[in-house]
Structure 1
Amino acid sequence: MPSEIQRLVDDLVTQMKSGSAPAYRTAMERLADAARAGGPESLTAAVEALAPLLPDLGGDFAMTAVLAGACVEWGASPMALVDVLPRRASEAMKLNAMVPGLWDKAARGRPLPEPVSASTHPLLRTLTGRARWRLGVDKNTMARIAMSWFDMEHWLKALITVMADAAFREAVADDVKTELREHAEAVAHRSQRAVWAGALTAVLDDEPLVVIDPRAHRGYALTMSGVGDNGQLHILLADRLVGDPGQGMVAGDRPARSWVEAATSGDPRLGTDDPAIRCFRLFDGQGAYIGPEGVPADIGPLDGTRVLVLHPPNGTYMLGVGRVFEHMKPTLRLDRILEPAETQRWLARLAPAVENDMMADR
């Protein structure tokens, strides 16, 4: 580890112990500047030095996790955070979900403070002062619960950054992903980042996908990774499959280049001037409608394989965003066109499309 990075991390720890917010922010800025100036090696060294600190941090000092995430955006390896950040973010959401109920018991009808720094001391004082409302919860634990009301978004911001990395997603234990989804669901009504964090835990990587075009009696075997939502999948499918029917491809209009760029590596925002128009409606092999607003994990497996069935679009459905997660690199690879006999076997197993979803008619 570069000695300058370690020295700056040590200084950051000193400033956190001092309790001085201005000194902490200055130490953060110095560490960030030095790590960026040193390139990937220094950035990775900073992440490796910060990772052991994260489990015990809370409140404003949770910004340390945001710095670690920023280092990853700038080019650091995120892998030192695998066993730390997902668990800490999961805990923050779990504790955050407890705050309203505890406040109701302790605050005697007063409104719950907004999750901004100016409200930290009133909430912390009220909850820690009434820690006896929760049998077995000491003041230190209650303080950690209270601070989650203010620091959860910091943990989630960092988590969303690192979960864009395919190797990181693969390394996170399945039980941790399950906990993240459960806790994200509990706070999703007040945190968009929690919604995104839950969705990232369900991202499929190296996932086989069979696509059937029943009108042409053709099928396709693909592999997908890092696709954030079904709107993005719609665009990528059109890019990979629409082409010359004489060459075995799906008949239709090719997607605009700007749509494909928005779904892959360009600016994800398409806006109202150039929205992507979906080329088909999608149903899974069991007949369920697969809406653009869902995620690929919603595609129910048929005999162990996720299957999509292409239907005509039935009107115009516009997509203003090409991808939800700007820094997550998607791949959708067309591996092969299925042989006619194989396509027929899939066709024989497909359930009829259940067209009872309002959006399926558009």
Structure 2
Amino acid sequence: MISGNKRTERFRDAVAGFEAAVRAQDADRSQQYFDDLRRYFGEADDQDFRQAGPRLAAILDEMPAAPRATVAVLVGACVERGADPTPCAPYVLAGLAGALDDARAFCDRWAATGGGDFPDPQAEEPPEDLLDRVDPDLAVAWLTLHHWEMAAVALLDHAAVRTALDDGTRTRLLRTLRSVEEDSGYVFKCLAYALLVLDDEPLVVLDRPTGTGYALRMTGIGDNFQLHTLLADVLIGGGHLPGRAPSAEEAAVCRDRPGQVDTIGSFNLVTPLGDWVWNEGTPSDIPVVDGVRLLVLDPPSYQRSWPAGRFFPHMKGDLVLERVLGADEARRLLAGCAAADG
């Protein structure tokens, strides 16, 4: 029987050997230690993961595209086990940007060589004619894009990574991703939603039935199901609005507690122009009016239930009330809002 210390040593040796081989551009040794990395990954302890994450991230751009995507997933797994995401993020997000650009080029080339159904990016075996139609690097980018999604989401789970991502980079990533999705028909929802998460974001909420308004601030909310439950917790549970307040457990799983708990909707979420804000969307769907996102609450038109929780189980979310709007301010804002469509 191999002792626990010996098992973790095998992983540490694999990390060190792989790092050295990649930097030396030694393909044979890189492959050997790459195999060891995957073989012994399950034997590492949390301290090993904390050390390995930044080291593996720092060599991502020095390795070929196919193993680069797999190692990026390992970096994400290290972050999930406690590695600091901040030093890992620039390398993983740069790799994601390159993969998205190449996937965009893959879509163009696929259309130029006859089109048809796109290869399943998660299929065990790619189509036989794939490399006859597209450059190998572009094919690898397409077939590994879901790996980059996994790796990037693991890092974007952390507010420090999201807030360090400048708006220009975020916009470019989303634009390229949407182009790939539109042309291929494949949806990378987790990546899109992670890039859309808002942090320290002001939100003004107007309750039409009571004529009241509230200034709030939201962070790390992955979808509008989560936002809906937290709104009910803060406004109904806080005694500001009538209605059914979520239980403490329903609210907790929308902030930082693991799991899901069934809940019932309390509102219709509506834009100032009267369009519904669907629970299936994200808080970024709420329009900005005079520099702040503005949301209207109407009574629910029908009873709707769902499992309360977080779209991203490892992402902590929160919604806090900063102040209750004065009656005149709330009345003025509501006067500029249209009734809901439908």
TM-score above 0.5, yes or no: yes
Residues 1:171 and 2:164 are matched in the alignment? yes
Q: Once the two structures are aligned, what percentage of the paired residues are identical?
A: 31
For 2:12 and 2:31, locate their aligned partners in 1 and report how far apart those are by CA, in whole Å.
21
Do the aligned partners of 1:235 and 1:278 also contact (CA within 8 Å) in 2? Answer: yes
Residue type matched to 2:52 in 1? Answer: A
- CA deviation profile, 1:96-118 (whole Å, cap 9, x unmatched): 23335434655x79976543353
Cα separation, 2, equivalents of 1:204 and 1:61: 29
Residue 84 of structure 2 corresponds to residue 77 of structure 1: yes
State the alpha-carbon separation in 2 of the partners of residues 217 and 100 from structure 1. Answer: 50
Query: How far 1:339 moved relative to its partner?
Result: 2.7
TM-score by length of 1: 0.79
Structure 2: segments with no counterpart, 5+ residues: 1-8
Tell me: CA distance 1:105–1:346, structure 2 relative to 1, closer, same or farther (3 Å). Answer: closer
Q: Is the 8 A contact 1:87 1:176 kept in 2?
A: no
Question: Pairwise mapping of residues 288-327 of structure 1 onto structure 2 (< 5 A)?
Answer: 288-320=275-307, 322-327=309-314
- Give me the whole-angstrom Cα distance separating, in 1, the residues matched to 2:224 and 2:117: 39
| Residue 217 (structure 2) pairs with residue 236 (structure 1) | no
Q: Is the counterpart of residue 150 in structure 1 residue 143 in structure 2?
A: yes
Asked whether the 8 Å contact 2:209–2:299 carries over to 1, the reply is: no
Identify if the C-alpha distance between structure 1 residues 277 and 11 changes in structure 2 by more than 3 Å, giving closer, same or farther: same
Matches within 5 A, 1:32-181: 33-34=43-44, 36-37=45-46, 39=47, 42-55=48-61, 56-103=63-110, 113-115=119-121, 116-119=123-126, 123-124=130-131, 126-127=132-133, 142-181=135-174
Cα drift, residue 186 of structure 1: 2.5
SS in 2 for 1:254: coil
* Change beyond 3 A, Cα 1:300–1:105: closer
Q: How big is each residue's C-alpha offset from its partner over 1:6-30, in whole Å with a ceiling of 9 and x where there is no partner?
A: 7533312438821886752323343
Deviation per residue, 1:197-229 (Å, 9 max, x gap): 122222111111111123222221111001111
Aligned residue for 1:207? 201
Q: Which amino acid aligns with 2:105?
A: M
Shift of 1:269: 4.1
Change (3 A) 1:229 1:52: same
> Do the aligned partners of residues 99 and 167 (structure 1) sit closer, same or farther apart at CA in structure 2, a change above 3 Å counting?
same
Over the residues paired in the alignment, what is the CA RMSD in angstroms?
3.0
C-alpha contact (below 8 Å) 1:5/1:46 kept by paired residues: no
| 8 Å Cα contact 1:278/1:313 also seen in 2 | yes
Instruction: Specify whether residues 187 and 111 from structure 1 end up closer, same or farther in structure 2 by C-alpha distance, changes over 3 A only.
Output: closer
Report the secondary structure of 2:144's partner residue: helix
1:10 aligns with 2:1: no
Question: 1:28 corresponds to which residue?
Answer: 38
CA distance in 2, matches of 1:12, 1:217: 63
* 1:179 to 1:32, Cα distance in 2 relative to 1, 3 A: farther
- Residue in structure 2 matched with residue 360 of structure 1 by the alignment: none
